[in-house]
């Protein structure tokens, strides 16, 4: 029996709903969504979001879901997420040259939709996975969920010597909040200006298989529980409501450099030896803080800023979109650090290293 010491990302797949320009969304819906007293502020937030286009499975230009019950939103999630997730998984499997029946563990991350049977069961059945496939659903971890998900499937590959599959699928468009009355709710405006829908999947196989790809060297995390209220995702009768404190970038700035330096130090590396950065683009200020605290140049975060501009903040799939953008560059980076942030306040980091023939 071959001893497996590491897992390698051998395939990635992305699926996106129809895309719409940020300006079109503003003019066609959001300009009327806010009362006159908050419209000017909202317009400035939309204009400064860093988002140019984004996608929605349930577009506000066609359906206003802000008054829908949570039950109605969850039913619609199943209708939209199953085909979207199926497309992402199918592309990842094709990219890896793997058949669905070979998958040993299928893990699904989502914080925007819940049902039983869930995405994991429906997709395992529809895609022809083995009846013996192990399944795991990771819910309500928010924007950073892809990285603990990646760690879990990587650990399975190493422990069992079998391929594993991770899917992140989010439909944030289903959680549009009512306009409401009273003073402007800046946190809701920011949420409406940033968030988007996407599905992204990753196939991991034993490094001993010899397949080329990014080897998962280590997954690391730090949580500052003293700031747990800075980022929230609350279940209400009208969907899930986002809370985003303006203090999030400040807290992030306190921890991100230490997290990255400690992660790299364990592999005898420095920040200057990393040539690829896949950073979750929670918003322009998040990327600004990461760039400043790590001392990176503009090019280092070009892929992450490009993802924010082209796709918006898609919650958990977004950091995988940034990794996919890096690997499609003319000269893909050799060493990549993935970073994502979310409720807790939690920071996750992953070190990847490309290997043409994994050992």
Q: How many helices (H) and strands (E) does the chain have?
A: 11, 13
**Calpha distance 8→112 (Å, rounded):** 28
Distance CA(61)–CA(74), nearest Å, equals 20
Contact call for residues 105 and 28 (beta carbons, < 8 A): no
Task: Residue 255: name the closest of 288, 282, 294 by CA.
Answer: 294
Other CB atoms within 10 A of residue 217 CB: 20
The kind and range of the H/E element at 318 are: helix 318-327
Find out whether 280 and 319 touch, Cβ atoms under 8 Å.
Answer: yes
Determine the Cα angle at 244 with ends 238 and 245, to 5°: 140
Quick one: residue 197, left, alpha or beta (phi over 0 = left, psi -120 to 50 = alpha)?
Answer: beta
Look up 143 and say whether it is catalytic.
Answer: yes
Q: What letter does residue 195 receive in the DSSP assignment?
A: B
Catalytic residue among 109, 111, 143, 168: 143
User: At 281, phi and psi to the nearest 5?
Assistant: -85, 75
Q: For residue 11, which of 130, 153, 170, 159 has the smallest C-alpha distance?
A: 153
User: Buried b / exposed e across 320-347, counting CB within 10 Å, b at 16+?
Assistant: bbbbbbbbeeeeebebbbbbbbbbbbbb
- Residues annotated as part of the active site: 143
């Amino acid at each position: 029996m071959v001893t497996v010491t590491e897992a390698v990302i051998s395939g990635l797949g992305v699926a996106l709903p129809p895309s719409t320009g940020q300006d079109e969304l503003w003019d066609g819906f959001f300009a009327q969504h806010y009362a006159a007293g908050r419209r000017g502020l909202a317009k400035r937030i939309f204009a400064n979001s860093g988002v140019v286009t984004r996608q929605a499975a349930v577009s506000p230009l066609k359906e206003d879901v802000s008054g829908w019950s949570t039950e109605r939103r969850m039913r619609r999630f199943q209708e939209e997420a199953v085909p979207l997730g199926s497309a992402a998984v199918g592309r990842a499997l094709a990219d890896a040259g793997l058949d669905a029946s070979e998958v040993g563990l299928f893990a699904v991350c989502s914080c925007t939709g819940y049902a039983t049977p869930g995405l994991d069961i429906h997709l395992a059945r529809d895609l022809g996975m083995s009846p013996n496939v192990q399944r795991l659903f990771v819910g309500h971890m928010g924007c950073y969920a892809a990285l603990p998900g990646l760690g879990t499937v990587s650990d399975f590959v190493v422990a069992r010597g079998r391929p594993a599959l991770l899917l992140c699928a989010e439909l944030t468009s289903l959680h549009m909040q009512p306009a409401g009355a009273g003073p402007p709710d800046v946190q809701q405006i920011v949420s409406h200006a940033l968030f988007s829908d996407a599905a992204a999947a990753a196939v991991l196989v034993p490094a001993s298989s010899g397949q080329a790809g990014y080897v998962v060297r280590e997954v690391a995390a730090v949580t500052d529980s003293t700031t747990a209220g800075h980022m929230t995702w609350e279940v209400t009768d009208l969907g899930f409501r986002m809370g985003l404190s303006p203090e999030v970038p400040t807290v992030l700035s306190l921890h991100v450099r230490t997290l990255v330096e400690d992660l790299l130090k364990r592999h005898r590396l420095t920040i200057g030896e990393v040539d690829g950065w896949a950073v979750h683009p929670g918003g322009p200020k998040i990327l600004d803080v990461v760039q400043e605290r790590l001392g990176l140049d503009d090019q280092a975060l070009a892929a992450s800023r490009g993802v924010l501009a082209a796709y918006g903040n898609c919650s958990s799939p977004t950091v995988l979109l940034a990794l996919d953008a890096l690997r499609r560059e003319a000269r893909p980076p050799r060493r990549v650090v993935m970073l994502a942030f979310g409720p807790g306040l939690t920071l996750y980091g992953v070190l990847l290293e490309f290997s043409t023939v994994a050992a």
